[in-house]
Amino acid sequence: MSSASFDALRFSRGLREIGVPEQQADRLAELMADAFSTFADELVTRDYFSEVLDARLTQHGAELEQRIVEKMMLRFAEQDTKVEARFAGQDAKFESHDARFGKQDRILLLHTWMLGLITLVLVVPQLQAWLA
């Protein structure tokens, strides 16, 4: 950061030219030089301000991005939990349907055997009568 320079001699001459007594002009020049040297280090140049501003904007941008990513990850986790819960519910329904289909398969097997037995009891004697 560059500091502004103060020309005390030039300031003193300028004061003398407008009629300020020499002793007073010199003392004012010294006081102004002290004031400028004391506060010159605290002055901010445009380049320094730009550097600091860029650094802070970069930092805040990174922090904002991190917060957004954290919120997005939290929302994705919530959605994953909801989806998993719904899939678990669907799995339970499928298991219920599988049990019902298993029961229907057993009933269908029983009906098949019953029809086979009925066929044997009714058709075989009729065939024997025709072939005899």
Distances (CA, A) of 120 to 24, 113, 128: 139, 11, 12
- Domain membership flag for residue 77: yes
Q: What is the pLDDT of residues 20-34, one digit of tens each?
A: 898 998 888 888 888
d(CA 22, CA 113): 133
- Domain membership flag for residue 19: no
Residue with tokens 């669907």: 90
Confidence of residue 113 (pLDDT cuts 50, 70, 90): very high
Considering its fold, how many domains does the chain have in total? Answer: 1
What pTM, to 2 d.p., does this model score? 0.43
Q: Which residues, 6 or more positions from 41, have their beta carbon under 8 angstroms from its beta carbon?
A: 3
Structural domain boundaries enclosing 55: 44-101
User: Nearest 5 degrees, angle CA 51-CA 52-CA 58?
Assistant: 90
Neighbour tally for 30: CB within 10 Å: 13
The whole-number pLDDT of residue 118 equals 93
Percentages helix, strand, coil for the chain (3-state, rounded to 5) are 85, 0, 15
Q: What is the pLDDT of residues 47-57, one digit of tens each?
A: 888 999 999 99
Mean pLDDT score of the chain: 88
